[in-house]
Amino acid sequence: MTILGILGGSGVYDIAELEDPTWLRIESPFGETSDEFLFGTLDGLKVVFVPRHGRGH
C-alpha cells in the first residue's frame, strides 16, 4: 500500500479534496509532534498530512 506523507508550511491546514479527513494525535519516540496528523484519501491515494508549525501558527 502506498501512503503519501505531506509536511505543510504556514497557512496549509486544510486539503479541500481530502475524503474522510480525520485528525489524530500520533505518539513519537522523538518527542511531541507539532500538531495532530490529518489522515484521509486523495484521488484514491492514502494521505497523511502534518502542519509543520501546528494549526493556527
The average pLDDT across 6-33 equals: 85
Round to whole Å and give the CA distance between 33 and 27: 8
The confidence score (pLDDT) of residue 12 equals: 67
The average pLDDT across 10-27 equals: 85
The confidence score (pLDDT) of residue 33 equals: 87
Query: Is 90 exceeded by the pLDDT of residue 55?
Result: no
Round to whole Å and give the CA distance between 28 and 12: 22
Query: Is 80 exceeded by the pLDDT of residue 57?
Result: no
* Interstrand relation of 45-51 and 37-42 (parallel, antiparallel or unpaired): antiparallel
